[in-house]
Amino acid sequence: MARLARRQASGMTALPKGFLSESLNRIQPSQTIAITQKERDLKALGRDTIGLAAGEPDFDTPDNIKEAAIAAIRAGKTKYPPVEGIPELRAAVSRKFKRENNLDYTPQQCFVAPGGKAIVFNALMATVNPGDEVVVSAPYWVSYPDIVLLAGGRPVVAETRVEDGFRLTPAALERAITPRTKWLILNQPSNPSGACYSREQLKALTDVLMRHPQVWVLTDDMYEHLVYGGFKFSTVAEVEPRLYERTLTMNGVSKAYAMTGWRIGYCGAPEPLTKAMAKLQSQSATSASSISQWASVEALNGTQHFIPVFQKAFEERRDLVVSMLNQARGIECPKPEGAFYVYPSVRKLMGKRAPSGRVISNDEAFATGLLEAEGVAVVHGGAFGLSPFFRISYATSNAALEEACRRIQRFCSSLD
Ligand SMILES: Cc1ncc(COP(=O)(O)O)c(C=O)c1O
């Protein structure tokens, strides 16, 4: 009795067998969120930790955007918005696609959801049937395969190679496609590798897709504005207009405008698809927050002057991290063109032993050993489907990055 009372008080009574849905059992909790939490727990215990696992800009949301949200609250724009998004934001999204991507999406083709993740979720849930295949290239953003599994589909992973800059090659794409393929998810600049595709590289992929009319493309352009060294971003429907009819172009304000907590993502797509997504959203989140939507109108329509400022800061950090990691014994770190991640290889450290006795048998052991020995939290490559690598998010201060890289260098030198 006392044990039952204790369990009830802690909220940890067991659920009846079979209570959880089978679809939930198919998926994993997000590992990047789990590692970020582990680092925060260690910090709360007094450990001197540095978190490089979370994928969010450390900058604050620009003031003009915050002011737009405050004005919306004061003006009483606090009622249920339309499911697909407020007309002002759909119009702003439509203009953004024209201005920045030379894509014609009418406001009716533009759809707003509570975050970029909710766009991917709605699109896949609205279209994937049991047995349908969705091609993702590895290393992938952690959520793609799990959302496909939740939807009852089959993720088909096409691995990339460090030698190809972690870009999907036309041959690997061709091999991954079958008659059951419904979607290709293409994310660039990539989370976790930072890889970007030039116009020509994208065209080579769209040429493959032109031979497979059953395949739609979900292009996740969340990091569009975070490209460096003069790299010119292009997106699928812009490069191959004949694919426009089967492309969903996804984007959001989270990364470009430092608005991760506002939870706004958007897309342009053929209207029957956005209508299907709206049907689903009408029975789940209903809509994105009205206040965040007004803030996003200002983000898209207002001044864009801080984007090059963010870009410059990220580029400097990328250069710092790549240079310091390449000085760490056994680490090889390619220099990506975009996002705020690097994806270094720890291949040369496999089989070595840390002073604690831990054998670095895979990239997860490397990440765990690093967190234990030096308090630096990174995410192992296995979480993104390609080993032996790890991901660093460099969206943090230069001082923290320098210290973290020094600790990584020390940890690598300590391996025997
Ligand atoms: C590649 C990619 N797509 C989508 C998202 C989701 O963005 P949001 O925070 O707007 O849901 C993220 C966030 O980490 C991401 O890295």
**180-229 residue pLDDT tens:** 999 999 999 999 999 999 999 999 999 999 999 999 999 999 999 999 99
Residue nearest to atom 14 of ligand 1 (CA): 55
Q: How many CA within 13 A on the CB side of residue 73? A: 6
Please state the atom number of ligand 1 nearest to the C-alpha of residue 263: 10
- Cβ(221) to ligand 1 under 6 A? no
pLDDT averaged over the chain?
A: 95
- Cβ(39) to ligand 1 under 6 A? no
CA of 117 to the centre of ligand 1 (A): 6
CA of 53 to the centre of ligand 1 (A): 14
Residue 13 has pLDDT above 90, yes or no: no
Confirm if 306 and 313 have CB atoms less than 8 A apart: no
- Say how many C-beta atoms besides its own lie within 10 A of residue 312's C-beta: 11
Token representation of residue 345: 């290889």
pLDDT confidence band for 6 (50 / 70 / 90)? low
> Probe ligand 1: pick from 32, 120, 136, 222, max atoms within 8 Å of CB?
222
Q: Kindly report the pTM of this predicted structure.
A: 0.95
pLDDT confidence band for 264 (50 / 70 / 90)? very high
Q: How many CA within 13 A on the CB side of residue 157? A: 16
Confirm if 376 and 408 have CB atoms less than 8 A apart: yes
Residue 1 has pLDDT above 60, yes or no: no
- Cβ(388) to ligand 1 under 6 A? no
What is the pLDDT, as a whole number, of residue 38? 84
What is the pLDDT, as a whole number, of residue 196? 98
Contacts of 408 (CB under 8 A, 6+ apart): 324, 325, 328, 331, 370, 374, 376
pLDDT confidence band for 84 (50 / 70 / 90)? very high
Distance CA 218, CA 221 (A): 9
- Cβ(252) to ligand 1 under 6 A? yes
What is the pLDDT, as a whole number, of residue 319? 98
Residue nearest to atom 13 of ligand 1 (CA): 55
Please state the atom number of ligand 1 nearest to the C-alpha of residue 120: 4
